Amino acid sequence: MSFFPPFNPEKVLMEPWSSPELILWNGQVLLMGFLVCWASGIIGSFIVVRRMALMGDAISHGILPGLVISFLVCGSLEIGPMLLGACIAGVTCSLCIEWLRPNTPIKKDAAMAVVFTSFFALGVTLINLQTGHIDIDTGCILYGEIGLVPLSPRLVFADIDFGNRSLWVMTLVCFTALTVVCLFYKQLLLTSFDPALAFSKGWPVQGIQRVLMLLLALITVASMEAVGVILVVAMLVFPCTTASFLCKRLPSMLWITLPLGILYTVGGFHLAHWLDCSIASAMALVATLLFIIACFLGPEGGVFWKFRIPTPKIITAKKSPPLNEGLF
């Protein structure tokens, strides 16, 4: 018995695009996946260089009580209240972590673990307490299902159908993240590498970090339908860490997140079609595979380049100047 199903190139690569209906359906899936990967990769790059990769995990789990409370208050799964509740919960989670660090002997990583597990447990408890009154699929929140994105409600304004609402929301979030990074790139860069210098210049270091956390919360809740709050962490961390083996400058890393997002989405989509598994999980597996390849073969710190035989260098002796040179 084979562990993997047989690979049929025509079925895996061509069948998803064999009709106009499938092209329209799967095209929306790929577009959603790319937007999630690109937006997460851009913001995740600043999160990783700040050594706050666990913050993405903390906020992705910490928004759950905000989602539940929003549903209990509004009684619907409309994206507006959900975004508001998730952003409030995400910023609150960040503020709790920032308060614990200077006011208690708890280290930064322990503070993140304490806060996000507490928030996540609160969200799960609220769901269990309101089982008869709440209709939130915890599996969808945790793992997502990007393959069902085309079934999302339509965006209708003035009796005009503008298309899939989830795609428009993710596009808006991605555009917002790009705009903030372009407008405040110097501030984000300096506060990421030298917050003391940024503070001496009079820049609001804490305010910039809270804006970054707000963007992280926005991307997390907008990506929830596609990849869930667990796998969104992979999309936040993998692009930057993979790009770090290909280049060392942050602007180059930000640009590399674009082709990486395409590879994660297209590769994960066809891998899921082959293995008949979750597309989000397959995207994370493709991201893992590309990270391993970059880790071994990347020109900037790859394992292969560290253990290769060094090329001998020919050292030539410099000619000494005459003793009386410069005296006359």
CB 136, CB 74: distance < 8 Å = no
Pair 7, 141: CB distance under 8 Å: no
Prediction pTM value: 0.82
User: Between the CA of residue 149 and those of 145, 171, 174, 175, what are the distances in Å?
Assistant: 7, 14, 17, 19
Within 8 A by CB and 6+ apart from 69, the residues are 85, 89, 126
Secondary element (H or E) of residue 65: helix 64-74
Q: What is the DSSP letter of 160?
A: E
CA 89/CA 52 separation, integer angstroms = 18
Q: How many CB atoms neighbour CB 51 within 10 A?
A: 11
Give whole-number Cα distances, 62 to 96, 112, 116, 228, 309, in Å: 11, 10, 5, 13, 48
Q: Could you give phi then psi for residue 161, rounded to 5 degrees?
A: -85, 115
From residue 151, give the alpha-carbon distance in Å to each of 91, 118, 145, 147.
Answer: 30, 33, 11, 9
- The pLDDT tens digits of the residues spanning 298-316 come to 888 778 877 765 655 555 6
Question: Quick check: is 130 in a domain?
Answer: yes
Structural domain contains residue 228 = yes
Counting as low any pLDDT under 50, the low residues of the chain are 323, 326-328
Is 225 among the domain residues? yes
Q: Is residue 185 part of a domain?
A: yes
Instruction: Supply the pLDDT for residue 311.
Output: 57
Angle at which helix 64-74 crosses helix 108-129, to 10 degrees, equals 30
Question: Does 324 map to a domain?
Answer: no
User: 130: which 2 tokens?
Assistant: 């309101």
Secondary structure tally for the chain: helices H, strands E: 14, 2
* Residue 110 lies inside a defined structural domain of this protein: yes
| Residues spanned by the domain of 85 | 9-304
325 domain residue, yes or no? no
**Can you give the pLDDT at residue 210?**
82
Those residues with Cβ within 8 angstroms of residue 183's Cβ, 6 or more apart along the chain or in another chain: none
In a domain, 233, yes or no: yes
Q: Domain holding 96: CATH number?
A: 1.10.3470.10
Look up residue 15 and give its DSSP letter: G
Q: Which long-range contacts (CB under 8 A, 24 or more apart) does 53-57 make?
A: 53/236, 53/237, 54/109, 54/112, 54/113, 55/94, 55/97, 55/112, 55/213, 55/216, 56/216, 56/220, 56/232, 56/233, 56/236, 56/237, 57/112, 57/116, 57/233
Task: Report how many domains make up the chain.
Answer: 1
